[in-house]
Amino acid sequence: MTSRHGRPPQPELSLRRRRQIIEAAFEVFTARGYESTAISEVAAHAGIGQGTVYRYFGSKREILDHVIDFGVDKIMDSIQLPTLLGGSNSVAELVEATRAAVDRLYDLVDREPRVLRLVLVEAGAIDPELSRRLFGLEAIAASLIAGELARGVAGGWIDQDIDPQVLGHTIFGLVGPWIVRELLGGSQPEVRARTTGAVMEMLERVLPPRKAAS
């Protein structure tokens, strides 16, 4: 039997290398800005040669698509969607779950503001295609909220006259701009608490079923 020499095959090496490049690009893009970053800087941060980067990605713009996915995953992990969707059986429970999700999002703003700044602010200005993609992600998030509202309507604990799609987009539209404002202007705890409280108060007033007229 002929013995085989050399390094054994590493079927996971390609995936690990791509992940290494994406994570390095994420760090450099969020620290320096996408436009100001060169591929050579991504390679240096990853500890590999520039040619290795091009072996796995055709351009800096292609890397950005994967970096945005990486950032969105961080946001979704922070929000903890499973705790927000499908677990409420009353308006009070839904409002509390929503408040907790918003608080976790603000915690991410405090811990890693560069993540949200890249995804919510900078990326949308890079080119129209990416702007449309991010708009699509916003629409998906609003639709998830609408789905939870529709579940409450079907269960009888949310007023049947509300339009889940309209209200879902309204809720997202109320919270999103304040997140962006904080990213651009710095954290303002009193404004944060006031705006979050106003949204939760609106939900407490709008969502409960109306009492039938006597």
**Hey, what are 188's tokens?**
């303002």
The per-residue pLDDT for 10 is 61
Domains and CATH numbers, the chain: 12-58 (1.10.10.60), 67-206 (1.10.357)
Distances in Å between the alpha carbon of 66 and those of 14, 20, 70?
Answer: 15, 12, 6
DSSP per-residue codes, 114-148: HHHIIIIIIGGGT-HHHHHHHHHHHHHHHHHHHHH
The per-residue pLDDT for 11 is 60
Distances in Å between the alpha carbon of 12 and those of 19, 20, 42, 140, 160?
Answer: 11, 12, 21, 32, 51
Distances in Å between the alpha carbon of 143 and those of 52, 137, 171, 214?
Answer: 40, 10, 11, 35
Residues of the chain short of pLDDT 70, as ranges, are 1-11, 185-187, 212-214
The per-residue pLDDT for 189 is 80
- Map tokens 């995953």 to a residue: 73
User: How far apart, in whole angstroms, are the C-alpha atoms of residue 1 and residue 98?
Assistant: 65
The per-residue pLDDT for 163 is 94
The per-residue pLDDT for 2 is 46
- Map tokens 């949204």 to a residue: 199
Four-residue CA torsion sign, 20, 25, 30, 32: positive
pTM across the whole model: 0.76
The angle, 0 to 180 degrees and rounded to 10, between the axes of the packed helices 13-32 and 39-46 is 120
**Hey, what are 202's tokens?**
């609106």
Burial of 40 per CB tally in 10 Å (0-12, 13-18, 19+): exposed
Burial of 13 per CB tally in 10 Å (0-12, 13-18, 19+): exposed
The per-residue pLDDT for 214 is 45
